[in-house]
Amino acid sequence: MALNIIGIDLGMHKVAMFHLFADGDLYACDAQIYTTPESEPRDLQLRELAGMVQEWVFLHDPAFVWVEDVLVGNNHRYSLSLAETKGAVLSALGLNRMQNGTDIRTVNVKAWKKEVLGNGNATKDEVRDYIDVSHPLYAPLCDGDQDRYDAACIALYGLQVTQRADGLQLG
């Protein structure tokens, strides 16, 4: 069964996306990052980020999109900005759901780290090392960018969850 999944990592002024297509032993992948100018008004930043995500997701027509959920931490301003980005992205993805039936899910950072790396508190270095060592074909697409590494792991999380669910249905 072919699996077509996109993982999305959110930032205040950017989104990183990783597309993973798996059909048996054939794997194809692609990565993209979009950044908006910090000097741009917030409403325009959000509109631009949402539009970019919607266009990229429409282009790849995935069955699943996994978006990293917002972790509310000590820096409330940062958490609120991430929540704004998440809302804009989910709104844009809602159009993909209506048009193509795309299944959109969110995942907690500790959940994807635990599932993919075996450690819910994995560091940025451990995330990068995991991709570099375990999936060396994905590493060049990340181009040294931590957000792309995170997006790749989020896509891998979606792949693992989907494969496990398919196995339960067959069993």
Q: What confidence score (pLDDT) does residue 29 get?
A: 77
Q: What confidence score (pLDDT) does residue 11 get?
A: 92
Average pLDDT across each block of 10 residues of the chain; the chain has 171 residues. List them in order: 86 93 70 89 95 92 94 86 95 84 93 96 97 93 94 94 73 51
Contact 102, 96 (CB under 8 A): yes
Q: What confidence score (pLDDT) does residue 121 get?
A: 96
Is 108 strand, coil or helix?
Answer: coil
Cβ atoms within 10 A of the Cβ of 74, count?
6
Taken in order of first residue, the domains within the chain and their CATH numbers are 2-170 (3.30.420.10)
Q: What is the pTM of this model?
A: 0.91
Contact 80, 88 (CB under 8 A): no
Q: What confidence score (pLDDT) does residue 42 get?
A: 95
Q: What confidence score (pLDDT) does residue 25 get?
A: 60
Taking the CA atoms of 100, 36, 83 and 138 in sequence, report the sign of the dihedral they define. Answer: positive
**Mind spelling out the 3-state secondary structure of 111-156?**
HHHHHHHCCCCCCHHHHHHHHHHHCCCCHHHHCCCHHHHHHHHHHH
Is 68 strand, coil or helix?
Answer: strand
